[in-house]
Amino acid sequence: MDREIILETDKLALQIKYLAAIDGLTVKRVKELVNEKYGKSDSNNNLSNKLRNKTFRVSELAEIADILNYEIILRKKS
């Protein structure tokens, strides 16, 4: 089954946590996998703060989506 999620700015942190949980992952583990795959050393607190404050970059969202095996698609609203 394909899963499609429409990201909502106000619920982005909750949505990312939900998608991670579906795969049996925590946000902490997702961050560890991002760090490993992309050669980063960001802390888990850094990601938590960015999620809470809605201040992370699109590139960081793309990395998280990649780890969770999702792609980001922009589509014109109907």
pLDDT tens digits along 40-58:
998 888 888 888 888 889 9
Residue 61 burial (CB count, 10 A): 16
Displacement of CA 63 from its chain's centroid (Å): 7
pTM of the model: 0.88
pLDDT digits (tens, 9 = 90+) for 11-42: 999 999 999 999 999 999 999 999 999 999 98
